[in-house]
Amino acid sequence: MPPPASLPLKAVIARRDRSRQAAPQVFEQLRELIVSLQLTPGTVLSRAELAEQFALSQTPIRDALLKLGEEGLVDIFPQHATVVSRIDVGSARQAHFLRRSIESEVVRTLAGVASIELIARLRTQIDVQAALMGEQSLREFIAADQAFHRLMYEAAGVPDLFDLVRQRSGHVDRLRLLHLPSAGKERAIVRDHRRIVDAVAAGDAEAAQSGLRDHLSDTLSKIDEIRTRFPEYLTG
């Protein structure tokens, strides 16, 4: 299945919150469009056109693009163009290493302290995600997946680390989106989540960590397959 097609920006830009600074909102919206592949690798981002679409001066647009550049999501060619970057496999592997290391400790911590209430909240979130399985709810499914993992970080007392991991995960998140439509992938994700929570509920830290490692490693194990299907999107 091909990834979502690029959409005209004016069709997807959300209304700005006038109580917040403009540049962070432009960054957040463009980042989401890039990570969700609505803006595909190779898409040219014109500062002037973005300023018109967002109804802003070019200064907040420039600031947002610079921040996207810091995350490696755009390539900036001074005096020429800004282009949505290709998915860097090396960066994706490093982000995966970071997330696996942190999240392994998160589930180990939870296995020692998880309450009945927390386990119920985690299982309820899995049920929400399971109800969204199906191609038509792909982005909602991804949002529910992120909510499940955020809940674990919050329960372990390290919510800021979730944000840190998200900041470094633009490349690996795009890889996962390319892989997610594969047959059985959504069902496997839900199954893995149940396995992790069952281990946490049983106080079995080793099983929780093993389940977490298996869960996070699936996409990267399919790099060759993804590269064959989308050679123009990957580099490294």
pLDDT band of residue 168 (cuts 50, 70, 90) is: very high
pLDDT at 187: 92
CA torsion angle 125 127 129 130 (round to 10): 160
pLDDT at 9: 59
What is the β-pairing status of strands 87-88 and 234-235?
Answer: parallel
Has residue 8 got a pLDDT over 60? no
Nearest to 178 by CA among 120, 131, 214, 223: 223
Nearest to 191 by CA among 220, 218, 153: 218
Task: Provide the 10 A C-beta neighbour count for residue 100.
Answer: 18
Q: What is the mean pLDDT of residues 91-112?
A: 96
pLDDT band of residue 5 (cuts 50, 70, 90) is: very low
Topology given in CATH for the domain delimited by 88-235: Four Helix Bundle (Hemerythrin (Met), subunit A) (1.20.120)
Has residue 78 got a pLDDT over 90? no
Q: How far is CA 26 from CA 89, 90, 123, 166, in A?
A: 26, 27, 34, 17
What the block records as the tokens of 79 is 């005096």
| Residue pLDDT, tens place only, 35-58 | 989 999 999 999 989 988 888 899
The pTM of the full predicted model, rounded to 2 decimals, is 0.84
Distance of CA 182 to the CA centre of its chain: 17
Three-state secondary-structure class, residue 156: coil
**What architecture is the 9-85 domain classified under in CATH?**
Orthogonal Bundle (1.10)
**Domain coordinates of the chain in residue numbers?**
9-85, 88-235
Count how many Cα atoms sit within 13 Å of the Cα of residue 75 in the half-sphere of its side chain.
13
The phi and psi torsions of 83 (rounded to 5 degrees) equal -130, 135
| Residue pLDDT, tens place only, 180-205 | 777 688 899 999 999 999 999 999 99
pLDDT at 10: 56
What the block records as the tokens of 193 is 């989540």
Q: Where would I find the beta strands (DSSP E) of the chain?
A: 44-45, 74-77, 81-84, 87-88, 234-235
Q: CA-based Rg of the chain, rounded to a whole angstrom?
A: 19
